[in-house]
Structure 1
Amino acid sequence: MKPIRLDMKYFGPFEDESIDFSSIKDSMFLISGRTGSGKTMIFDAITYALYGTLSTSDRMEGSVRSQFATDSDISRVKLTFEIRGSQYTVERTLSYQKEGRKTPVPPKAAIYDQEGEVLEGSINGVKEKVLGIIGLDADQFRQILILPQGEFKRLLVSSSESKQEILRTLFRTERFVHFEMRLNELKKEKLKSIELVESRVEELFSTLSANGDAELQKLIDAEYPTAAKRIEVIEEIGTTLGNRYRMLEEALQKLKQEATSLRETISRRERHNEQALKLASTKQELKDHEENAASIERLETAVRQYRKVKTVEYELRSEQDLIKQKEELETRLNTIDTGLKELETSGEALRQTLDKISRYREGYTKLVKWINSTERFVEDPRFRDMDGVLQSKMKERQNLASDIKAQEAKLAEVRQEDDSIHWEHAESEILRNELSASVAECRKMREWIERENKSAGYDGKKQTLEKEITELRKKMEDTETAIKKIQEDTGSMYSPEDKVHIEHLAGHLKKDGECPVCRQTVSVLPVARDYMSEEDEAELRALETKKQECGNALETAEKNLGIVDGILGSMERYDTEKLEKELEAEERHQNEVRKKIDDNHKRYDRKKQLDEEMRRLESSISDNRIRMNNAENAVEQQKSLKKEFSEQTQFETCEEFQREFQARQQKVSRYEKQQEEAEQERQRYREEKSRLEENRAAARRQLSEMSGQLEENTRVIDDFLKDNEFAGRNVLFSILKNTDVNEDEERIRAYHTQKDILKSRINDLESVLESTEEIPVEEDREKLSVLDKEIETKTNDNARLYARMQHNGNIKEKISDFAEKHEAELGEVDELVELVNAVSGKNEQKVSLERFVLTYYLDRILHIANIRLLEMTSHRYELRRSTGKSNRKTGLDIEVFDFYNNRARHISSLSGGETFQASLTLALALNEALQQESGGISLDTMLIDEGFGTLDPETLDMAISTLIELQTSGKMVGIISHVEELKERMENILEVKAVNERSTANFK
């Protein structure tokens, strides 16, 4: 990710500022400016645009809204950045509390692609989109791409637990912790499953049935170590119960055979007794049935009469209906004749009404013609308030003329004042240049004073070093004198440590013998030897150590003195008192120029206001003249409309015309309505007359046909009465009223059918019975009952035994299935427990999976960091992961190995400059390691806030060279620092200036 352009509006000290990074996107640059000018705010703006948070975790969003922003001003940050060849723009507005509003104005966010298309427009949507594009969250971005002031050395000096959280977040190793937790949960689930299986097996075994056998019950109640042993016991119980079941089954079969034979005998005897009883009953039923013979004969006579009269039923009912219809038809003919006479009377009145309407036809036509010619004046809204509109337009014309006169007078006054104000652009430009030159001169004087103060500090440091060197040389001379004195006092004495070796060698020397060391002939044996006392030797060693320490300190002091002399030799010296007087005079001059500029600005602002006022008045006069011209045209139009109205309608006012128009329109409507009603009435008259005449003709035809049909029916009925002995038509109708004929016929048939059935049944029973006497069966039934009860008891016993055997068999199958599953799961659990122990650190190395991964990443980061750190510290320091024992689980402590002393030191023992070196190399290594690990993350930028002020010139040069090397690999490197030497080394400087609490930023 590389920033291309940053826009800030009311953000921190920036009112409306844009910074273009496109020209230095592959370079290193310095952000320079005095303390409090807003340098760090640039990093805050970049971080806030991307993530909605600031570059340091201890600052809140509300702290960066500009203090000079009003309630109507919106604080906004807009960042265009490039990543993997694509450009994106993200824009955010800050939340702030508006006066008079209970709740804060909410923040907003949006992200666009290179073509300006909106990718996301919500706070959460932008957050997710940025995370997807960059691949880092806010904490990772601050830790890797931005090294904030105060958090620069966080990774180096943090505790082991803090490093774990940092590295866990950056390298996402929490997945290994989740993996360990999931394995533990899986282990618990598996162990619980095994316990459930064992519990279920025991529960199933306890439900075995012994069928009341005490010995078998003892087998069930006993304890068994394995499921296989339980299965053997189940098989033994099953064998015993199976033998008992077969014995019960054989006894039951014998009882069933005996009961079957007895049941057949009883069945035969019961059938005989049943048939004898049925024969007697049937004979009595036949006798009772024949007692109804007389009533059946009467029914047969009535049915025959009904069937005979039924043959003329149609003629009888037709004759009756035709007589009634003939009477109704004659009455209808009389009603139609009466209606025709009344219709002729109403027709005469209708003809008189039509004659009256035709007489008014000519007046109606004239009214319609007038209405059609004047109707447009009613519908057109322009004629409704002609006089009112005309008066309004005339008054508007008068008011506009008055306004134009007043505005022209005001314009003359403004022009007069504008001509009296003197302002020239050249004069303002001269004053601005003079002020800029004065500011530059003041800044240069302050820099000279600051440099001289710094040089004075080096003077003091030089005096201190010279004094220190003098003292060290004196101390070293005194030490050398003391050493010489001891050496002179002890002479040729040997040290106590050499005594053993010398005496041992002397013991092997013999006169004229060979020396065991040099192999030469010994001519003279050594005399008695003197040795130094332990006190003399200790004093001599202490003095030599003191001499060495003084020498080292002297060498360091002389080296530092040489550095200070070099710095002082390269510095230009100034007269501070003279510079301060000149600065005071220049500042006075600067204030005078500023006052002139302010006066000039006031004249310019007033002249600008007057010019704006003149433009506004001229524009207003022009607009009013246009409106006045429009008003005059409107007056003429209204007069023309009024003239046209009067000529066409012959009325002066629209109200009189509309009243007359409505009155005439109502007359026309009444005439049209009367005409329409008369025509409708005439049509109804014609239709009614035609209908009555048609109905009269149809009724006469129907009456003629009905009379002929009535004569024919009367003849048929009279012939039937003559042939049969019935006393008139009323008797025939009474016979036809019998509606139960079908039921009577059914009773007759049923009587004869039942009689024949009973006779046939008696004949059948008499043919099969040998005897009509009943045979006794009670004794056989009692025997059968005893047998059935015994069979039922044995059947239930056998069924219960079989059910228990089946139950035991099912339990055996279930326990067998559980045993197989149990054995398989035990093997899985053993493997799972072994895996859990390895992942969680319960192993020989006592290292968990996450700890192993974290130490791998830390070792890798330290390896990369040491390549630069060794070079920057002249191969003195190397960062190492502490391998000492610790009660903490993570083991991620860092220590520094000092090759000069050949021992490890705690990281806190480093000086400020050394700590910065280690922190910088560690941060660069972390950046590289993370980019190597996450191929999709593009880490093309590094922004560093402060830290270089603790470095000496040589180390500063090494740190800058390291960053330049990093920049040449394609990274953008930005640095915030007050170190003057950096300005001299940097080609690109983003200078942040603050004037009246408002800052600007420009590359120079």
Structure 2
Amino acid sequence: MRPLTLKLTNFGPFLDETIDFQQVNNDQLFLISGKTGSGKTMIFDAIVFALFGEASTKDRNEGDLRSHFADGKSPMVVEFEFKLRDSIYKINRQGAFVKEGNKNKTLGQLSIYQLEDTFELRESKVNAGNQFIRTLLGVNSEQFRQLFILPQGEFKRFLLSKSIEKQEILRTLFNSQRFEEIQKLLNDDVKEVRANIEKRYHTLETDWMDLETFDETLLNEYKEVSSRQTDKIKALIPQFKSIGQSIQNDLLAAEKRRIEKFEQAENLLNRNLKLQDAITSLEENKQKQEALLSNQSYIKNQIKLLNEINEVRPLSNLLDSKEKLLKKHKEIEKDKTKTITSVSNLQEQLEDCEKQLAKHKDLSETIDKSKTFIENCKIFYKKIDKYKKLYQQIENLKNTYAEFKSQYEKQKQQLNQYIEKLNDREPDYKRNEQLNEKIHQLDNEIKIKKQNELNKKEYQTLQKRQSDITTKNEHIKSEINTLDDKYKTIDKTNIDLNNKQDMIIKLQSVLSKGDKCPLCGNEIHEIEHHIDFDELTKRHDQLNNIEQQRLKLKEQKIKYDSELQHILEQLHKFNLDELEKINYTELELTKDNLLKEKRLIEEENKEIRNLKEKILSLRQKSHELELDLKTKQFKLDESTQMINDFENTTQYKDVNKFMTAYDKSLEKVNEYQKKYEWLVQQIQKYNNELSLEMNNKAHLEDTIKSLQKDIKEANHKIDHEMNRIGFTSLKDVEHTINEIPNKAKIEAEINKFNQEKQQFEIIINQLQAEINNQELRDISQLKKDFEQEKIQLDQAKSLLSQHNYKLEFNNKKIDNIYAVINHLEKELQEQQEVFQLAEVLSGKNEQKLTLENFVLIYYLERILAHANQRLSLMTGERYQLVRREQTSKGYSGLEIDVFDSHSNKKRHITSLSGGETFQASLALALGLSEVVQQESGGIALDSMFIDEGFGTLDQETLETALDTLLSLKSSGRMVGIISHVSELKQRIPLILEVQTEQYQSTTNFIKQ
């Protein structure tokens, strides 16, 4: 990711500022410089806020980023444009704030665009946008701080932090929580598996203890074996099966013997019971047969009567038919008499109705007039409520119309007055714009001259400071020259032997005259103390003092020269001609006059606008009133016309009187019509009834003739049938006929007698054949024997059933035991490695490391390896960062020590000096950045920003740190540094200067 532009609105000290990072070349290192509190770090905050909605450090909240001098109604907005690989993106993020005058907070907003010819919107919701950015960059805010922005104090904090603190940082950067989740899931699985295994052992123990021993001592002893001895249990189980099967066979044989004895007793008892029943039944049936044969004479008489009943039936039918014909003839005679009377009455009623109808028709002329009145006024009667309202509203309509007309005239008059007052004037906006432009120009000129005034004061201050430094520099030069002269006057003979006094004395003590010198090889002629080492030491100390004074003076001179160079650069920025242009009094007077003129024009424009608005409003109201007036006129005319139609048609001016007359006419017509229709209906009714009665009379006369003929024929047939059967009188016939209803009963008695007689004969023959002279035994003794055998059989079956249940129960339990043991053996074999793995990952290993801690140590060692490549260069191969090997339970093993090659020992990281700590922190931060980039995959690290830390370095170390950073920018990265160190301004050619003026800051790129 490479920044292109950063636009800040109400962000920290930047009220409206745009930073163009495109002025930085692809491989250029630049310095961000400015006074303390000018807002240098806020630039980093703005980048992180645009991307993640957070500050560049955890210590600051979003609310701390908003400018305290921002307009209460304006939001804090950051617009960040950057290039990622070959695409350009723009992010616009607005911070949440409480708008002035509101109680509730205005929520933040986020818009993300991608350049494709033009900027196309990609996301417009905060949560979705945040996720889009994290996916796009491939990092979260924590990782971004470590990769792109190294905030003030953040990377030093990582170096000095304890294991638990490093663990939090590293697990965020490398998402190592997933390893802890793996460990937790594995532990949960192991716990679950172990719990399941214990459940299976418990199930196995329950099944083992539930096995039935059949009261066998051997099996009871077997059950004392522990259920966890699965191999032994498997060996003993067949004994339970074989013993159970043997007992079952014995019980089956006993049951078979008891069944045979029971069946013998049952058969003997049944045969004697059957014989006893047959003897008893034979005696009973013989008695019943004798009683039946005593009624045989009565049955013969009934057979004779039945034959007579069968012969008399046709004659009985003829007598019944004759009786019916006589009865019908009598009834028809009565009906004929009634019909003659009804015809006479109908003729009289018909004649009376015809007379009434003729009289009623004489009133038709009067009724026709009433009908005409009703027909013409029907529509008014149906809408009578409407006409009542019209009579009530007509006066109100007239009054309302008059009021509206009066209002319309008044508004017309007022409108004409406003038009006359406006007098065709128009607002002079052009002149107002011209004045605004002139005032703006004057403001700029006044601002420039005021700035010139401030610049002149600053210029004079710089000149005074330049003069003071020049004077001090001349004084330092003079002192250095004096020291040089003094340095030259000191004798430097044998000065190099100052620190060799002990060696010379030692040589003198072992040498003698005539010996060869071990240094030059010549003969020694004398051994004397010809060198004054005290005087030599004094001269050496004098020279050292002079050298130290010269060094201090030179350092001071370098400092003054640097400051003087900086002052000269500052002085060159000023235009001396512009500094004299500081008189702005006349401009302010001109501005005041223009402002007065502007106020007058604005007041006149306001008056014209008000008049136009009033005219427009009155015209609109007049138009609306005119429309209302026409509406009222239309309603009034319509109502008047309807009232005239009503009065002309009905000839009534009073609605109530009209209603009374209409109701009376309607009632009169309805009564006439009702009576007329009733008379017509009555005449029609009497005519129909008379026709029916005449037809009925003729039909009855024909029926009487036919009945008389049928009665004569019936008498002839009856006489013939009596002669055939042999009846001499109707009395004998009637007696036989009276017995006809009892025919079925007589037949039933005869049939029953014959059936019972035949049945008794068959049963007696069968029973005699069944008994066949057999001997009957003692039934009570046979029953006792049967019951005894049955009890013994039930006992045998019960014992067998109980044993079968136990055997089946044992078989199920044995199957369960085999299944559980097999499952346990398989599960223990499969899960053994999982159990061992869970223990290792939980920290039960030689190193006492959990899986996550092991992974974090791996990442930390990689980070240290990358960091040491740079730290060795920065410290002249002296220092190496090493991980402390000591580990214990928990997140240990992440502390960092430093290895000092000079002492060949490790020491605590806090023993480093401030500059050395900065070097180690910078190297560690860069190493961390590289490892995170490698692990994240696809992250484009095209830029990096570093905040502070260089002030703790000496000149040589500073040079080394800069070389390290230059190696970064040579790899194509944009590297930005925040620092107050003046030497960096000499080394870094491009500076982003952050200038502050009271509460507002601005930025400017300066190339040196």
Aligned pairs for 1:552-567 within 5 A: 564=559, 567=562
One-letter identity of the residue aligned with 2:883: S
Report the Cα offset of residue 162 of structure 1: 1.4
**Which residue number in structure 1 is paired with residue 565 of structure 2?**
570
Over 3 Å counting, the alpha-carbon distance change for 1:138 and 1:562 in structure 2 is same
One-letter identity of the residue aligned with 2:817: I
Question: 1:334 & 1:900 partners in 2: Cα distance?
Answer: 162
Report the Cα offset of residue 177 of structure 1: 0.7
Question: 1:389 & 1:862 partners in 2: Cα distance?
Answer: 99
Q: What is the SS of the residue equivalent to 1:880?
A: strand
Question: 2:743 & 2:120 partners in 1: Cα distance?
Answer: 99
Tell which deviates more after alignment, 3-12 or 288-297.
288-297
Report the Cα offset of residue 423 of structure 1: 8.6
**Which residue number in structure 2 is paired with residue 179 of structure 1?**
182
8 Å Cα contact 1:109-1:122 kept in structure 2 = yes
Give the aligned length: 948
Aligned pairs for 1:164-563 within 5 A: 164-223=167-226, 226-284=229-287, 355-360=365-370, 387-388=398-399, 390-400=401-411, 403-404=414-415, 424-425=435-436, 427-438=438-449, 440-441=451-452, 444=455, 484=497, 487-488=500-501, 491=504, 493=506
2:628 matches 1:620: no
Aligned pairs for 1:533-932 within 5 A: 564=559, 567-568=562-563, 570-572=565-567, 604=598, 607-608=601-602, 610-625=604-619, 628=622, 693-694=687-688, 697=691, 701=695, 715=710, 756-771=758-773, 774-867=776-869, 873=874, 875-876=876-877, 880-887=881-888, 889-897=891-899, 904=906, 906-910=908-912, 915-916=917-918, 918-932=920-934
Question: 1:771 & 1:462 partners in 2: Cα distance?
Answer: 170
Q: Give unmatched runs, 5+ long, in structure 2.
A: 512-522, 528-537, 723-728
With normalisation by structure 1, the TM-score equals: 0.71
8 Å Cα contact 1:383-1:641 kept in structure 2 = no
Report the Cα offset of residue 230 of structure 1: 2.0
Report the Cα offset of residue 174 of structure 1: 0.7
Over 3 Å counting, the alpha-carbon distance change for 1:60 and 1:22 in structure 2 is closer
One-letter identity of the residue aligned with 1:231: K
Deviations 1:490-542 (A, max 9, x none): 5352799xx9xx9xxxxxxxxxxxxxxxxxxxxx9x9xx9xxxxxxxxxxxxx
Over 3 Å counting, the alpha-carbon distance change for 1:614 and 1:232 in structure 2 is same
Report the Cα offset of residue 692 of structure 1: 6.6
8 Å Cα contact 1:869-1:921 kept in structure 2 = yes
Report the Cα offset of residue 175 of structure 1: 0.9
Q: What is the SS of the residue equivalent to 1:842?
A: coil
Report the Cα offset of residue 185 of structure 1: 2.0
8 Å Cα contact 2:207-2:813 kept in structure 1 = yes
**Which residue number in structure 2 is paired with residue 520 of structure 1?**
none
2:165 matches 1:162: yes
Over 3 Å counting, the alpha-carbon distance change for 1:880 and 1:450 in structure 2 is farther
**Which residue number in structure 2 is paired with residue 507 of structure 1?**
none
Over 3 Å counting, the alpha-carbon distance change for 1:940 and 1:237 in structure 2 is same
8 Å Cα contact 1:340-1:692 kept in structure 2 = yes
**Which residue number in structure 2 is paired with residue 532 of structure 1?**
none
Question: 2:696 & 2:481 partners in 1: Cα distance?
Answer: 161
Tell which deviates more after alignment, 149-158 or 314-323.
314-323
8 Å Cα contact 2:319-2:718 kept in structure 1 = no
8 Å Cα contact 1:875-1:899 kept in structure 2 = no
Report the Cα offset of residue 831 of structure 1: 0.8
Deviations 1:98-143 (A, max 9, x none): 8685xx4463656567699998777655555555555544544555
8 Å Cα contact 1:315-1:713 kept in structure 2 = no
Report the Cα offset of residue 167 of structure 1: 1.5
Over 3 Å counting, the alpha-carbon distance change for 1:107 and 1:211 in structure 2 is same
8 Å Cα contact 1:109-1:126 kept in structure 2 = no
8 Å Cα contact 1:4-1:22 kept in structure 2 = yes
Deviations 1:360-407 (A, max 9, x none): 5666677689999x999999x999965455444444445445655775
Aligned pairs for 1:9-158 within 5 A: 17=16, 19=18, 47=48, 51=52, 53-64=54-65, 73=73, 75=75, 77=77, 85=87, 94=96, 96=98, 104-105=104-105, 107=107, 109=109, 131=134, 134-151=137-154, 153-158=156-161
Question: 1:340 & 1:586 partners in 2: Cα distance?
Answer: 140
Question: 2:218 & 2:402 partners in 1: Cα distance?
Answer: 130
Question: 2:967 & 2:442 partners in 1: Cα distance?
Answer: 46
Q: What is the SS of the residue equivalent to 1:572?
A: helix
With normalisation by structure 2, the TM-score equals: 0.71
**Which residue number in structure 1 is paired with residue 531 of structure 2?**
none
Over 3 Å counting, the alpha-carbon distance change for 1:855 and 1:392 in structure 2 is farther
Question: 2:491 & 2:79 partners in 1: Cα distance?
Answer: 68
Q: What is the SS of the residue equivalent to 2:881?
A: strand
Tell which deviates more after alignment, 155-164 or 777-786.
777-786
RMSD over aligned Cα atoms? 6.9
Q: What is the SS of the residue equivalent to 1:261?
A: helix
8 Å Cα contact 1:14-1:998 kept in structure 2 = yes
Deviations 1:808-833 (A, max 9, x none): 33333322222222222222232112
**Which residue number in structure 2 is paired with residue 535 of structure 1?**
none
Deviations 1:580-602 (A, max 9, x none): xx999999x78997898688667
Question: 1:335 & 1:948 partners in 2: Cα distance?
Answer: 145
8 Å Cα contact 1:422-1:603 kept in structure 2 = no
Q: What is the SS of the residue equivalent to 2:891?
A: coil
Over 3 Å counting, the alpha-carbon distance change for 1:429 and 1:817 in structure 2 is closer
Q: What is the SS of the residue equivalent to 1:790?
A: helix
Question: 1:30 & 1:333 partners in 2: Cα distance?
Answer: 140
One-letter identity of the residue aligned with 1:107: L
Report the Cα offset of residue 992 of structure 1: 7.5
Report the Cα offset of residue 179 of structure 1: 0.9
Deviations 1:785-807 (A, max 9, x none): 33332333233223333433333
Over 3 Å counting, the alpha-carbon distance change for 1:486 and 1:933 in structure 2 is closer
8 Å Cα contact 1:43-1:55 kept in structure 2 = yes
Q: What is the SS of the residue equivalent to 2:223?
A: helix
Report the Cα offset of residue 563 of structure 1: 6.2
Question: 1:619 & 1:688 partners in 2: Cα distance?
Answer: 86
Q: What is the SS of the residue equivalent to 2:154?
A: coil
Tell which deviates more after alignment, 625-634 or 819-828.
625-634
Report the Cα offset of residue 696 of structure 1: 5.7
Over 3 Å counting, the alpha-carbon distance change for 1:809 and 1:590 in structure 2 is farther
Over 3 Å counting, the alpha-carbon distance change for 1:237 and 1:900 in structure 2 is closer
Q: Give unmatched runs, 5+ long, in structure 1.
A: 503-523, 530-542
Deviations 1:422-458 (A, max 9, x none): 9945652443233332454466568768989999999
Q: Name which one, 1 or 2, has greater alpha-carbon Rg.
A: 2
Question: 1:189 & 1:469 partners in 2: Cα distance?
Answer: 89
